[in-house]
Amino acid sequence: MGKPSIYKQNSQSYINVIKELHNIYIKSSYDLEKKLIWNAVVDVLRKKSEYETPRYISIKANEYFNQNNIKRITKHGDIHDINAQLKITLEHCNPINKLVERLLINGESISNVVQDNFTAIITKEEDKCLDTNFRRERPNGWEQAYKESGIEWTLYWRYWFYYF
């Protein structure tokens, strides 16, 4: 058995790193430095979500699970571990760049931003529809963007079973 991943930490570890990056960002007056910090926060948020169970699943993705006898997707890496040809993907319900903007530009609390960093399992076909109009921005929230993209979703029972 290999060593445990350094990324499998609790949320507080990620919050601490983001807090430090946020403090450096506020103090910086250089554009390049701010851009590098922005990218670092993006990476931290992505890494955090890679090791968390998705909260939601689309109805089509759930049907695909049932048809193909897929038992478990608990984190991003599971999709690649099972089969690279799967017709499903893990999608950030709230675009990462918007989360970083809320934190670094709008001054929203770190805990709110981290709390809104969650994923859903959807089909690759649904992901293409979503990306057509809502890749970078979801002005009326992720639920409305999913609805307008024809994505019906439900709670992913593994997330809710694990966390509640």
SS3 labels along 80-109: HHHCCCCCEEEEECCCHHHHHHHHHCCCCC
Strand arrangement, sheet containing 119-123? 88-92, 119-123, 56-58, 153-155
pTM of the model as a whole: 0.83
**Confidence grade of residue 145 (pLDDT, cut at 50, 70, 90):** very high
Mean pLDDT computed over 93-108:
96
pLDDT, position 1? 37
Query: Could you count the other beta carbons within 10 Å of the beta carbon of residue 115?
Result: 11
